[in-house]
Structure 1
């Protein structure tokens, strides 16, 4: 086979450091667009980006040329630097140290897109922490809850 071909969808989730409610409505759309640009610069395709004041969900088609850890590092590093330039109130902005990355089947793309789009409504019923633990459990990811919220 002469070509390297892939179509890998990933649902990325990470939160602000200490779950601080720093992603205000006035900045979120611009932040999501900026993150979309970072994803594109890394040869990947942003499909849907959304979240709440303390966390973010990203659905993307991954490039075959970048590892998930590297993509998330680029997103977090560049978006954190960018948001600090927007206003003095964002000077302490930081993302958590880790992230969650979950594979997504082509057959459930629309469901995941809708889920991300409706985050604010969704979190009227379930906390960020409970949602994340639910994801980890559904994907059978071993974790130590002592380190999830750092």
Structure 2
């Protein structure tokens, strides 16, 4: 699916930045039933789209949620996470006020999160691609060599 995503084309760049996000509920309380998860899918997708992001997939369990999101390069992942967690927390607590009793602070999400890049190929494939640059017969610049490698040869 990631390889099938349209590239984000701007005036001076073409990107395909996809990240895997995981948010946990405050104190890892098992708050998310299927109706809560369905509500979160809708609001998180809407919030992400308002920032110019595209949600590929959202799913979760009782105490955490996974998001797979394509994001433009001008939005930092930490800003996106802060935005999504802040506004979705406010919206979920308005829709399900019974969750306010789980903590003294009004928050649905834990302050922590997980993020990983989710490219279309493995690290090994990218390493081989970079290593093989300049080895084929075509018009290209010579392979990159550091000052140390030049002295050693």
Classify the TM-score, shorter chain.
Answer: 0.5 to 0.7
The residue that corresponds to 2:92 in the other structure is 83
34, 37, 44: which is aligned to 1:25? 34
Gaps of 5+ in 2: 1-10, 102-106, 123-153
Q: Which structure has the highest helix share of the two? A: 1
Q: Which structure has the highest strand share of the two? A: 2
**Regions of 4+ moved over 3 Å:** none
1:42 aligns with 2:51: yes
**What is the CA-CA distance between 1:94 and the residue it aligns to?**
1.9
> Superposition RMSD on alpha carbons, in Å?
1.5
64, 81, 85: which is aligned to 2:73? 64
Gaps of 5+ in 1: 109-150
**TM-score for both structures, normalised by structure 2:** 0.65
Deviation digits for residues 10-69 of structure 1 (CA, Å, limit 9, x no counterpart): 000120111001112122111111100111111111000010110010001111120000
96, 106, 123: which is aligned to 2:110? 96
Number of equivalent positions: 107
The structure, 1 or 2, with the larger RCO (C-alpha pairs under 8 Å, 6+ apart) is 1
